[in-house]
A and B are shown apart, each in its own frame.
Chain A
Amino acid sequence: MAPRNPRTAKRAEADVAAPTMESLLATKEIVVACGPGGVGKTTTAAASALMAAVNHGSKVLVLTVDPAKRLANALGLDGIGNTEHRVPDAAFKAAGVKPRGELWAAMLDTKESWDSLIAQHAPDAQTRDEILANPLYQNIAGRFIQSHDYIAMERLYEIHSTGEYDLIVVDTPPTRNALDFLDAPERLADFFSSRLLRWLIVPYRSKLINVATKPFYQISDRVLGTEFMGDISEFFILFQTMYDGFVERSKAVGRLLSDRRTTFVVVSTLEATPLREAEFFAEQLTARKLHLGAIVLNKVLPDYLRGRAGTKVAEAMKDRSEDIAAALAPSLGPTSGALGDPAQIARVLTEVADSYLNFQIVALREMEERSSLAVAPEVLATVPFFDTDIYDLSGLLRLGEQIWA
């Protein structure tokens, strides 16, 4: 294939007034792919990054959270983890494209990212080691999901500030609430600047308890035990040495998300439940004055399923299956054989017609959902249902072509 996508070349000459994924990816530096789980977020993020690398000649990074194993392999991510890694030329060659730019990929490793964040902010090696060894820290960093939300955005910030990439496409972790990761930086800053944190730390250090805080400690001690409360306060005393760095950092992360150079792409399917969630998410983005660049609708059933002519044909096939089978039988094979058996042909015709009518209901419901979409993004892209899983660069390109222009 020629290095330049012929369709892209043609578009450049045409009047391109309406924004497309192509123009969006050309102007923004950060694209955050978000939306409900199970809709193809990771694949969409990877396909967008790939298209930008192939067509725009930029150096693009896709930061994924939890890619399918085969996709991770295709991106050369298997066993790579947190470090950025260039997708090898061989992978592009296998897909039959010669990229103008470079595609890099990295996978988010929550624990590793937290550790390096601590290492960066700790005032000295001893504090760093004490924090890393603290059981509470290990719980927070490794097990609990809210910490994923924060660290994904933190990592994005860190990579962006190196200025290494023209474009970073980031996949977001599956969250209980799709908005969690947006609030995470602010919540973390609130958390560390909270007066309660000081309450918690003071008495175990100086035993100064005032009237206002006394009931809190009494209850906490009874419920959790003094020892545990001591562990908690020790952890936060250590953590406080990093307080300023953390708060400043999380504010910077928040600013980056609302920067003009950042856009959000909401990914969904046309099934009712995920779509409602995506819609809610898009509304929230707008309410927070964040840039809603596009909505990508994945796994949409093909257009031919919605044709009214098809309905008539399917109904005829079903209603007159025996007559049709009898008429067709001689052209398929001897009536004594399996292929020419009219009863069997009639069964096949009925199955085929039923299947069409079944899928038609789903396809019509999808269209109804799409036309009643309550938000208006700059770009609304639809990706047809692919009958096989997408796990290599050619698959990503097929998907990418659908959303591109």
Chain B
Amino acid sequence: MTPVLDRKLVFVTGKGGTGKTTVASALALLASSRGKKVLICEMDAKGELAGYYESPPTAFKEKEVQPGLFAMAMDTEAALREYLRMQLHIPIVGRIGPVAKAFDFLATAAPGVREILTVGKLCFEVRDGPWDLVVVDAPATGHIVGQLAAPQAVNGLVKVGMIRNQTDWMLEMLSDPATTGLLAVCTPEEMPVTETIELADRVREETTVQLAAVVVNRVLPELFGRQEEAVFDALTASGPLAALDGLVDGDAGPVLEAARLAVTMRRTRSTHLERLRKGIDPDVPLLYLPYLFTRSHGLRTTRQVAGSLAEELGF
């Protein structure tokens, strides 16, 4: 299987709250730090991406946010304008006003048209842009399949016309596993794991895009080996605990309890990890990222995650 960073178009998805944007921004940062010219595109335009690079807000026109790394935010209407300008040679922007409105309407009426425009813009950047890699901070797991399957859906509905011509070459690009891949982000918890397994199945059945890897985010550290855990258990008995209280001159109870909580959390999570490994095609690599205690967002976090990703990818 082609390694993630050897592809040219990588969609990053994940259930809400699993760190999808963190991973996408870290992946793009890692690629650029390895000398690639990278474009990262935020699809749902919540404007969150800027926070991951401490940069000014992203817009449709890409901006350099780190050396060699450019960020943009998808905007359907802007994508439509660009498309009309390039494909139909309609030069007068003023006339596009009502057309854009009509198209917005059409896109609502004929689902798939909007997706074609936005995914089309990304494919266009891969084909004709200056990029070595385009990373997409894609919609969450519930929405990504609709987006990736849009070219086929539209092909089923539209038999002729320019959209049809467009979907044909887009499909070719999306179906090529050496070019395009999907990265699914999850955490070792019940629902995210279940959704990731379901996502993998749906992506295989309903789209032509290959699942390139699954990133397991927020993996808790293993506190103890088996012998150490026996020591820990012995420590929590009343006699040794009282002795420990005296030695540290305070109540050691909460500190030990916190460790117990950490051990239980890790154990619950590891059962979900086993389920994930069993539920995903063995050829698909799982990349593990540690839980970050010190920071939860910002460029510092993006760098740390990029560092962990580099280790997992064997750099």
- A residues near B (Cβ < 8 Å) are 36-39, 68-70, 135-136, 139-140, 143-146, 173-174, 176-177, 191, 194, 196-197, 199-200, 215-216, 219-228, 231-232, 235-236, 269, 271-274, 302, 304-305, 307, 309-310, 312-314, 316-317, 320, 323-324, 327-328, 331-333, 338-339, 341, 344-345, 347-348, 351-353, 355-356, 358-362, 365, 385, 387-389, 391
Contact = CB atoms under 8 A, between A and B. Distances in A.
Contact of A331 (B95, B228, B240, B296): B240
A139 B296 contact: no
B239 A331 contact: yes
Nearest to A239: B109
13 contacts: A176-B140, A196-B101, A200-B105, A219-B88, A222-B162, A271-B17, A274-B17, A313-B251, A328-B247, A339-B230, A347-B228, A351-B259, A358-B293
B2 interface: no
Contacts of B240: 328, 331-332
B111 A216 contact: no
A222 B89 CA distance: 12
A17 to B, nearest CB: 34
Interface in B217-240: 221, 223-224, 227-228, 230-232, 234-235, 239-240
Chain A interface, DSSP helix/strand/loop, else mixed? helix
Interface in B249-290: 249-252, 254-259, 261-262, 264-265, 268
Given A135-B156, A344-B227, A344-B228, 13 more contacts: A177-B46, A194-B105, A216-B99, A222-B161, A223-B88, A225-B163, A228-B163, A304-B257, A304-B258, A313-B255, A348-B235, A351-B228, A389-B189
Interface of B: 15-18, 44, 46, 48, 84, 87-88, 90, 95, 98-99, 101-102, 105-106, 108-113, 139-140, 142-143, 146, 149, 153, 156-164, 189-192, 194, 221, 223-224, 227-228, 230-232, 234-235, 239-240, 243-244, 247-252, 254-259, 261-262, 264-265, 268, 293-294, 296-297
A290 to B, nearest CB: 21
Given A227-B160, A304-B254, A352-B232, A317 B248 contact: yes
Given A135-B157, A136-B157, A174-B142, A220 B106 contact: yes
B293 A352 contact: no
Please name the 5 residue pairs, one residue from A and one from B, whose CB atoms are nearest each other, closest first: A37-B16, A38-B17, A225-B161, A304-B254, A225-B160
Contacts of B159: 225, 227-228
Contacts of B251: 309-310, 313
Nearest to A387: B264
B231 A352 contact: no
B18 A38 contact: yes
Contact of A144 (B44, B46, B111): B111
B15 A38 contact: yes
A355 B255 CA distance: 8
A37 B141 CA distance: 11
B250 A309 contact: yes
Nearest to B257: A304
B223 A224 contact: no
B109 A232 contact: yes
Given A174-B140, A194-B105, A232-B110, A351 B224 contact: yes
A358 B201 CA distance: 37
B112 A362 contact: no
Given A140-B111, A304-B258, A317 B102 contact: no
B295 to A, nearest CB: 9
